[in-house]
Every structure is written in C-alpha cells, then in structure tokens.
Amino acid sequence: PRVGADRALKRVTESYWRGEATTADLHATAARVRRENWEALRSAGIDEVPCNDFSFYDHVLDTAVLVGAIPPRHAGPADDDESAVRRYFGMARGTDGASPLEMTKWFDTNYHYLVPEIGPDTDFVLDPRKPVSELAEALDLGLDARPVLLGPITFLLLSKPAPGAPEGFAPISRLDDLLDVYAELLATLRGAGARWVQLDEPALVLDQPEEVLAATARAYERLGAVSHRPQLLIATYFDTVGAALPVLRNAPVEGLALDFTGPARSNLDALAAGGGLPGKRLIAGVVDGRNVWKNDLQASLSTLGRLQGFADVVVAPSCSLLHVPLDLALERQLDPQIARWLAFARQKVDETVTLARGMTGGPEAIRSELAANRADLASRASAPMTRNAAVRDRVAGVTPADLRRSTAYAARATAQAARLALPPLPTTTIGSFPQTKALREARAALPTGALAPEDYRARIGAEINRVVGIQEAAGLDVLVHGEPERNDMVQYFAERLTGFLTTRHGWVQSFGTRYVRPPVIAGDVSRPGPMTVDWASFAQGLTDRPVKGMLTGPVTMLSWSYVRDDQPLGDTARQVALALRDEVADLEAAGLAIIQVDEPALREGLPLRAAARPDYLRWATEAFRLATSGVRDDTQIHTHMCYAEFGDVLDAIVALDADVISLEAARSDMAVVRELADADYPAAVGPGVYDIHSPRVPDTAEVVALLDRALEHLPAERVWVNPDCGLKTRREDEVIPALAHMVEAARQARSRIAAAG
C-alpha cells in the first residue's frame, strides 16, 4: 500500500491541495513512506524489493508523464519540481481551464486509473526523473531494488484516442514510437544501477486478438535487443495468461511473473503442458494479493514444488499489494478466533518469506508454521458463523417468480407516472451530499461515546433537513436524504448485516487520495432489522416531493468487499439479495415511492476472461432482481452505475429490469447513451451531465450541450437529468451552483421540447 502507516500520504496530499503543505512537505512524506515500506520488506526477509511502485495519485498517470503523453490542454512548464507537481495533479483533477483525464477501473479491481490520451501526434519524450530517483533512494538504503514499470502494451491498450484523433485511430498503432522511449528508459535504469526491471503487462490476461499478441512479441523482441539493459521481467496478474504464454515464453527476456491464485491457478497446468520455462526465472505468485484470507501454505508449497520441476522459482504475492489493507495487527477489535483466518499486506509478505523457506529448506524448515496454518484453516471451515441454517434454507427456497417483477416495464411506467406526476426530464441526484468534516467527526464520536446517541440523531436529522432544503431551493424534482449517516455505501450495510466483518484501519486506495475500507464477508449473511427505513421516512416526511430510498445492491456489496473463497460467489450474492429484498419491502411499506439500488460495481465484477462471463452475469442480474422485484408496479426501482465502460454489460443492464438507471457519462461525452439506445434499452436513463470527479462547476450551457447529446439518442420521456455520481467528495460551494445549472439546463430543454410540440 502506497499510503503509508496512518494514511500519511493522503493527509499530506490533501493538505497540499488546500494550499497548506508545500511541495517539499509532499516529497518528504513520500520519501518517508517509501523508506518505511522498504524497511518493512527488508526486515520481513524479502530479498529483492520493488521500487517505482509508489505514486502520488496513480501509476498509469505516472506512466503517461514518464513517456511524455501530456494532453495539449495540460501542456505547460514542468522543468522545475513545483510546476511538474502542479501539472501532474492538474491532469488528475482538472484545472480551471482544463478537464482532467478520464478515470476508469483498473481491470476487475476497485482501483481507478486515469486514462492516457494518445493521438497520432503525441510526442513521446522520456522523463525518467521519477523511476530514477526512486531507484536511487532504494539503492542508497542498500537494497536490491527492481523498478516496476507499466509495460508498453498494457499502457497503450489502457489509453484512449486523444480528442481530435481520426476515426478508427488506435493508440496501439503508436507502439514503435513508444518503444523508442522504453528502450531509452531501460538503458537509463541500467545506468542508474538497476539489475532487473519489471514490466507489468496485466492486459495480457484479457482475451487479446492475434494482432495484440503479435505486437507483444514484437515489442519484447525490440526491448530484449536493447544493448546495455537490465534483466527484464514481464509480469501478468489477476487471471490466466492464456494465449500470451507462448509469446512470453519465447520473448528474449530473463523472467516472467505469473499469478497462481484464484482463477489464475490454471496457469500451473498451462505452464506444465508447455514444457515449463527453461532458462527463465519464474516469479511464482502463490500468495493472493486480491483477498484477505490466510494462505493455505501446504497447497502453495505443493504448487511451488511442481513449478520447481520446470523453472527457476522465486516466491511472491500474485500481484501488487495495493489491493489489500496494510496490517492485520492494527485490527485489535477483531475476534482473535476470526482474525486467525486473515492476512493483510504485512502478513502476506510474511507468508511469502515462509513459503520461500519451505520451498528451499523443505517442509521441515517451516514445520511449526505449517501446523499453525492447518489449525487456522480448520477453525474457519468448522465455525458456526460460516453456516447459518435459516439463511441456507431461505436461499434454497427461492423460486423463479422471486426473480422477476410481475409486470413489464411499460405498464409499470404508466403506474409510476400516475403516482409520481413528474415533469419531463426529471432532475435528481445520485444520493450522497457533501460529507463535511463535522459530519465525519460526529459519526466517529458516536461509537466512542463522545457524542450521545440522541445528540448524534439530532445532528444527522438536522443535516437531512438542510440537504432537503438545498434540493428544494435548487428546484430538483426527486430528492435524496443525502446519506449523512453513512461512512461508506458498502460499509454502512456491512455493519448492519450478519456475516460481514468491518475493519478499523483496513484502508485500500480507490483513486487518488480516496481510500475505502472494504468489509470482509466471512459468514452467512442475514438482516437482523431495517437498515435505512428511519432516515428515509424522516426525509420523506420533510417534503412533498418524492424522496428516493437508497440501498447498495448485492453485486456491489460483493465487489467492494473481500468475498468468501469457500463457496461460489453466486451463493453469497443470493444471501445478500434476500436481506436487501426485505429492506426494499420495508421502504415500500414506509411510503417511499422510489427506491434506488446502486450497482456501480456490476461492470468491474465481470471476469476478465470472456469464458467466465455468462455465469457471472447470470447470477449477478438474478441477485439484483431478487433484491428488487418484490415491489408493486407503482414503486419505481432505480439503479446507478459509474466509472466504467458499459459495452460489455449492456445486456445485463437490460436484464436488471430497473425502471430508471443513472450512469456516469459526462467525462466520456455521453458515449453510453448511444450504446444503450443501440441495445434497445427499454427503460429510463439518467446519463450524468455533471462530472462530480472534478471540482469544476459546469455552466448551464455545458449541461445543455450534454443533455442535447443524450436527446439525440433517447426519447425525452425516458431521460432523467442527474450528476455522474454521488456528491459526497465535493464541496457544498461547488455543488450548489452546479445543481442550479443542471436544473436550469433541464428547464431550458423542457421549454424547447414543449415549444417543438
């Protein structure tokens, strides 16, 4: 984890953004975090440490800067450190004059990267300052350090065509020019003392067409031929390497890193079938970097034993440890009987070292660790928490009728229109309102007793009242309560459902300085009582306009938690869906006419390999329908999704059978609207017309233009007007004018439509 102990990097970065910390403060904290991470690895017994894995915001953005892929709107001086840092954060967050890079999910994780923009004229120029100086820091500490770079193939495949690039232009067509820069970089790093350089190519675990495999072969042919280069290691992770394996095996590089966990376990057979990796070093990822379960040391040892039969093996985690929390030892509140099932980053490092000892010294060398590990795993398998008979019976009793609404969309739409009486192009928001420091402090003060429960409730009630007032004043049609009582959209529910564990310090980077604490689904899931009904009905009681009930969907609950690895995901999803179904029923009974069930993670949960997707999409859409289909026709179900390319899940979006979907669209210029129209999406759509990822306040004309784009593809009676996502990361002084512009844009569009008859 890059953030460091006590989230030091987040603190200093945000303080820099507020104009308090200086660039020097920023660098000092960053250097300390890097040093502490390296020292921790060294003292755990790791032989070779990564460097350049640090980032102030995102490693894909770092790579864009490294190769000079700076969009012209962000061009500006960057020779001195001040201006380089300013330009960097400008690309990430936008500036007054220039929108930021688009942000999207990193493979199937909840980490977001910034999408580089590459055009025919992008002038690749090497700026090696970051990897070179971080290498120097590590070498100064006497470490054997290996710079980690995003590989050229993955970098280009994750990029998008720059604005203005000709139709059909593909960034990968710039490979040869980019390779010039990588070749120069490799020589530079060798000159700076790197023995090995790691090139991450996770894009190779996706189903790539023949041309990409050929381009990969050509790229590494070229980089392998650089004279005076470090030894090269190509790393893939998150899934099987598949058809890219022969390409990598034949590449003139000295090492490969492969994942042998989860769905990637079959890399083992593929490797064995292909005759191993003669002459290459194999970094064997046997410690799962994507989950928090304790490693099965015995099983990993046997994997390593087999691998040793055909390669020179080095033991490692399966991927960067960015995706797990830092240290389980900080979670002192966890029941020790449950904590013994878990491993966070520090513990995974220890497991890696233990396995290496077991691999070289034989099982006797780690006899006591093996015995303790066996007992820990057995205690989990036999714990009552992991098998609740009532939950299991209810899941087994789900019928096909429970999985769909009794009436088709058109008839429901009529019933809902009659009940809700909304204007055309209704305006709404996605749920959360700005989360102030005072609110966070109030939430934190409740469990410690520093704030009495009745004072806390008064505080939240006042906030909801205020937020309802803001929305009425802004002229919004469908209101929200603002979610002030929620720390996080998943954690809030996890704290109210059985089977979920939550952590105190388990922060994991989502994007930039935004960190989340994913809960752990450790046991069977059920709902002891209503979770959201009080505040939802309180809010509805404050206004005549409809207020949306606000829930997090089953797929997102799973995607943003660490999931059980001892039963199929679909089974866990059904348990969560049944708990939500009861909540939906309670909200409806309390008089809420609209219930939004957010599924922002539907797309990211999609398995990376196409072969595994149909099964996922089946259980994922079924779980959503199980949660939402118990309502009356005139109760309107909304869903919300964000930050993703939707192309691969359009059919699933249709299959959710929601009445209204709001989606992220502003940064990608409404592309999703056309896709939905092309897929004959039958229901209503609220494409985001206000990019909430940036502090910029859009003006009315800008919103009108986006709305017009949407109306080119969708009939006005099925269009809603809303921001891209919740407003909780924004400031109130940005949100209030932005919502006013949004409402005004909707009014203008309405009168134009009315005038046109």
CA distances (Å), origin 592, targets 457, 551, 669: 21, 13, 33
Contacts 24+ apart (CB under 8 A), 26-32: 26/56, 26/85, 27/81, 29/4, 30/54, 30/56, 31/137, 32/4, 32/8
The number of beta carbons lying within 10 Å of the beta carbon of residue 121 is 10
Q: Between 105 and 581, whose beta carbon lies closer to ligand GLN?
A: 105
Q: Of the candidates 725, 735, 738, 743, which one interacts with Zn ion according to CB under 5 A?
A: 725
Does position 642 interact with ligand GLN (CB under 6 A)? The reply is: yes
Does position 684 interact with ligand GLN (CB under 6 A)? The reply is: no
Q: Provide Rg for the chain, Cα atoms.
A: 26
Q: Of the candidates 74, 294, 323, 640, which one interacts with ligand GLN according to CB under 6 A?
A: 640
511-525 as b/e, with b when 16 or more CB fall inside 10 Å?
bbbebbbbbbbbbbb
List the single partner that 281 binds among Zn ion, ligand GLN, none, CB under 5 to 8 Å by kind. none
Report the amino acid identity of residue 304. Answer: L
Does position 489 interact with ligand GLN (CB under 6 A)? The reply is: yes
Tell me the closest approach of the beta carbon of residue 390 to ligand GLN, in angstroms: 30
Burial class (CB in 10 A: 0-12, 13-18, 19+), 371: exposed
CA distances (Å), origin 659, targets 104, 410, 590: 26, 9, 20
Q: Between 340 and 486, whose beta carbon lies closer to ligand GLN?
A: 486
Does position 430 interact with ligand GLN (CB under 6 A)? The reply is: yes
CA distances (Å), origin 728, targets 394, 430, 434, 600: 36, 10, 4, 15
**Would you say 204 and 211 are in contact if contact means Cβ atoms under 8 Å apart?**
no
Tell me the closest approach of the beta carbon of residue 604 to ligand GLN, in angstroms: 11
- Using the contact rule CB under 6 A, the part of the chain among 184-192, 241-249, 254-262, 725-733 near ligand GLN is 725-733
**Would you say 589 and 632 are in contact if contact means Cβ atoms under 8 Å apart?**
no
Q: Between 92 and 550, whose beta carbon lies closer to ligand GLN?
A: 550
Contacts 24+ apart (CB under 8 A), 462-466: 463/439, 464/535, 464/538, 464/539, 464/542, 465/542
Q: Of the candidates 600, 605, 688, 723, which one interacts with Zn ion according to CB under 5 A?
A: 600
Question: Strand, coil or helix: what is 537?
Answer: helix
Q: Of the candidates 432, 537, 540, 668, which one interacts with ligand GLN according to CB under 6 A?
A: 432
Does position 147 interact with ligand GLN (CB under 6 A)? The reply is: no
The mark string for 638-677 relative to Zn ion (x by CB under 5 A, - otherwise) is: ----x-----------------------------------
**Would you say 94 and 100 are in contact if contact means Cβ atoms under 8 Å apart?**
yes
* Alpha-carbon gap, residue 198 to 186, rounded angstroms: 10
Does position 13 interact with ligand GLN (CB under 6 A)? The reply is: no
Task: State which of positions 597-616 bind ligand GLN (CB under 6 A).
Answer: 598, 600
Does position 726 interact with ligand GLN (CB under 6 A)? The reply is: yes
588-599 as b/e, with b when 16 or more CB fall inside 10 Å?
bebebbbbbbbb
Does position 550 interact with ligand GLN (CB under 6 A)? The reply is: yes
Q: What is the separation, in whole angstroms, between the first and last Cα of the chain? A: 57
Does position 667 interact with ligand GLN (CB under 6 A)? The reply is: no
* Alpha-carbon gap, residue 157 to 216, rounded angstroms: 11
Does position 725 interact with ligand GLN (CB under 6 A)? The reply is: yes
List the single partner that 706 binds among ligand GLN, Zn ion, none, CB under 5 to 8 Å by kind. none
Tell me the closest approach of the beta carbon of residue 694 to ligand GLN, in angstroms: 16
List the single partner that 432 binds among ligand GLN, Zn ion, none, CB under 5 to 8 Å by kind. ligand GLN
- 693 is annotated as an active-site residue: yes
Tell me the closest approach of the beta carbon of residue 666 to Zn ion, in angstroms: 12
Task: State which of positions 374-413 bind ligand GLN (CB under 6 A).
Answer: none
Strand partners, 639: 597, 661
- Using the contact rule CB under 6 A, the part of the chain among 201-209, 426-434, 511-519, 737-745 near ligand GLN is 426-434
316's tokens = 């490692």
Question: Strand, coil or helix: what is 453?
Answer: helix
* Alpha-carbon gap, residue 251 to 217, rounded angstroms: 6
Report the amino acid identity of residue 121. Answer: D
Tell me the closest approach of the beta carbon of residue 21 to ligand GLN, in angstroms: 28
- Using the contact rule CB under 6 A, the part of the chain among 33-41, 204-212, 429-437, 616-624 near ligand GLN is 429-437
Q: Between 319 and 430, whose beta carbon lies closer to ligand GLN?
A: 430
* Alpha-carbon gap, residue 296 to 370, rounded angstroms: 9
Contacts (Cβ under 8 Å, ≥6 apart) of 125: 67, 68, 181
Active-site residue among 59, 112, 638, 693? 693
- Using the contact rule CB under 5 A, the part of the chain among 129-137, 325-333, 373-381, 724-732 near Zn ion is 724-732
Task: State which of positions 203-232 bind ligand GLN (CB under 6 A).
Answer: none
* Alpha-carbon gap, residue 53 to 30, rounded angstroms: 12
Task: State which of positions 468-487 bind ligand GLN (CB under 6 A).
Answer: 483
Q: Between 253 and 727, whose beta carbon lies closer to ligand GLN?
A: 727
How many residues bind Zn ion (CB under 5 A)? The answer is 3
Tell me the closest approach of the beta carbon of residue 591 to ligand GLN, in angstroms: 20
* Alpha-carbon gap, residue 573 to 553, rounded angstroms: 9
* Alpha-carbon gap, residue 174 to 314, rounded angstroms: 34
Does position 516 interact with Zn ion (CB under 5 A)? The reply is: no
List the single partner that 431 binds among ligand GLN, Zn ion, none, CB under 5 to 8 Å by kind. ligand GLN
**Would you say 476 and 428 are in contact if contact means Cβ atoms under 8 Å apart?**
yes
HEC per residue, 260-300: CCHHHHHHHHHHHHCCCCCCCEEEEEEECCCCCECCCHHHH
List the single partner that 131 binds among Zn ion, ligand GLN, none, CB under 5 to 8 Å by kind. none
Q: Between 232 and 576, whose beta carbon lies closer to ligand GLN?
A: 576
Tell me the closest approach of the beta carbon of residue 601 to ligand GLN, in angstroms: 8
Does position 439 interact with ligand GLN (CB under 6 A)? The reply is: no
Give the residue nearest to ligand GLN (CB). Answer: 726
Within 449-517, residue ranges assigned H as helices are 453-474, 491-494
- Using the contact rule CB under 6 A, the part of the chain among 406-414, 471-479, 686-694, 724-732 near ligand GLN is 724-732
Does position 434 interact with Zn ion (CB under 5 A)? The reply is: no
Tell me the closest approach of the beta carbon of residue 711 to Zn ion, in angstroms: 22
Dihedral sign for Cα atoms in the order 198, 204, 209, 213: positive
- Using the contact rule CB under 6 A, the part of the chain among 60-68, 277-285, 371-379, 430-438 near ligand GLN is 430-438
* Residue 697 C-beta-side C-alpha neighbours within 13 Å: 13
Task: State which of positions 563-592 bind ligand GLN (CB under 6 A).
Answer: none
Q: List residues near Zn ion by CB under 5 A.
A: 600, 642, 725
Q: Which residues are catalytic?
A: 693
Q: List residues near ligand GLN by CB under 6 A.
A: 430-432, 483, 489, 550, 598, 600, 640, 642, 725-726, 728
